[in-house]
Amino acid sequence: MIPDNTHSGFNESLAWTSDAPIGLAVDRAQGPFLYLEDGSRVIDMISGIAVSSVGHRHPAVISAIREQIDRHLHVMVYGEFVQRNQADYAAELTAALPEGLDSVYFTMTGTEANEGALKLAKKATGRTRMIGFRNSYHGDTHGSLSVTGRDVYRDPFLPLLPDVDFLPFDDVDALKAIDERVACVITEPIQGEGGIIVPSDAWHRALRERCTEVGAVLIFDEIQAGFGRTGSLFAFEQFGVQPDVITLAKAMAGGMPLGAFVASRELMAAFRNDPPLSHVTTFGGHPVSCAAARATLRVLQEENLPERAKWIESVVRQRLKHPAIVEIRGRGAMLGMLLDDAERTARAVATCLENGVLLGWTLHSNNLVRIAPPLTIGEPVLIEALDAILDALQQS
């Protein structure tokens, strides 16, 4: 498998996001595999960055998409018409969430879900101050970037939203800084791009208590951790706390673009007037994406994929033993393999790709290898990928 750098459209007409894109030329994808234009097969160990949790082109998702495209595509901006798959999915999603998370606002992407959640918190509380956490990642539009806790990504775009402060992650004492001026606190329940960091139960509890005490809206960004990836349908279930708003996207619609923020009906009512239409979107909750999302949720539940995530974690932890591995961290199939050296990490990831196994970094760390395969990956394929990683470490 060799990255294809001969495609003129890719090289000359497509905007790049770095000087060194991976450049795989994909022909098709199925289950845990990408099939490239050169005929080779690659095991996808990053799921399109936590998207393809039910595997690529799950048959139930494909058939739901086909059925919807035969009925209608876009018919009206979000929130005006009754579109069956959109409304039914909202009901099914809220049924899978606890009471208090019972009203869904659909978006297209993760960052838009966070934008909506931040605006909702401001409007509902009448406050402006926002708290984020160091090393967090919430997306690249201006609002989400404003609460993303990494200066290297924020500095080129300053000024961003005013009145935002960052606290150290997983530090109970620091939570005292959350006061009555705070509209919202936004956090990932498990930090993804920050390096797969699982905070303590005690921190989660203290965060929940402090937000309740001062009347701040607690937003959990489960855009990466949600939909079974960490071993429960939603990651917050594992910490015994419930947010006021949860934001979702990525794995939600089995490979189709969809996002959402979900809150109580009372909180969400803040968007209905003063003025009406104060937060609208054309494509949010696209009917084809919602059809795919309904099928995805059913697959996650019927195939018990959160349990599969736990099984993946146990296989990875048992198998991946090598002196270069400092730590395997994370939960379920949202794992990070911390290596002893950044250069070795780059070499190992490159060798794996040459041998048909796709791995990747997280945005904020260059010696942490992301391990996040589709939750449907079978045992032989998982073992094949893990053995390729061990071989690559041996050679690097």
Binding region for ligand PLP (CB under 6 A):
49, 109-111, 114, 137-139, 188, 192-193, 221, 223-224, 249
Ramachandran bin of 243, using left for φ above 0, alpha for ψ from -120 to 50, beta for the remaining angles: beta
Rounded to an integer, what distance in angstroms lies between the CA atom of residue 293 and that of residue 282? Answer: 18
Q: Whole-number minimum distance, CB 43 to ligand PLP, in Å?
A: 21
CB of 63 to ligand PLP, least distance (A): 25
Q: What angle do CA 223, 327, 300 make, to 5 degrees?
A: 35
Angle at 118 between CA 238 and CA 258, to 5 degrees: 70
Residue nearest ligand PLP, Cβ-based: 110
Residues forming a β-bridge with 58? none
* Coil, helix or strand at residue 274: coil
CA dihedral 238, 243, 246, 252 (to 10 degrees): 20
DSSP 30-76: EBTEEEETTS-EEEESSHHHHT-TT-BT-HHHHHHHHHHHTT-S--S
Question: Minimum Å distance from CB 374 to ligand PLP?
Answer: 17
Rounded Cα distance, 234 and 223, in Å? 10
Radius of gyration of the chain (CA): 21
Q: Is 220 helix (H, G, I), strand (E, B) or coil?
A: strand
Nearer to ligand PLP, 49 or 390 (CB): 49
CB of 314 to ligand PLP, least distance (A): 24
When the beta carbons of 220 and 311 are compared against ligand PLP, the nearer one is 220
- State the nearest-atom distance from the C-beta of 82 to ligand PLP, in Å: 26
Q: Which of 110, 181, 121, 99 is nearest to 148 (CA)?
A: 110
How far apart are CB 108 and ligand PLP at their closest, in Å?
A: 8
- The residue (of 85 and 247) whose beta carbon lies closer to ligand PLP is 247
Q: Are strands 334-339 and 325-331 parallel, antiparallel or unpaired?
A: antiparallel
CB-based contacts of 198: which residues, under 8 Å, 6+ apart? 190, 329, 330, 331
The helices-and-strands tally (H runs, E runs) of the chain is 13, 15
Q: Please state the closest distance from residue 188 (CB atom) to ligand PLP, in A.
A: 5
Shortest distance (Å) from residue 210 CB to ligand PLP: 21
> In angstroms, what CA-CA distances link 30 with 43, 145, 250, 386?
10, 33, 18, 19
**Nearer CB in complex with ligand PLP: 116/139:** 139
Question: In angstroms, what is the minimal distance from the CB of 16 to ligand PLP?
Answer: 16
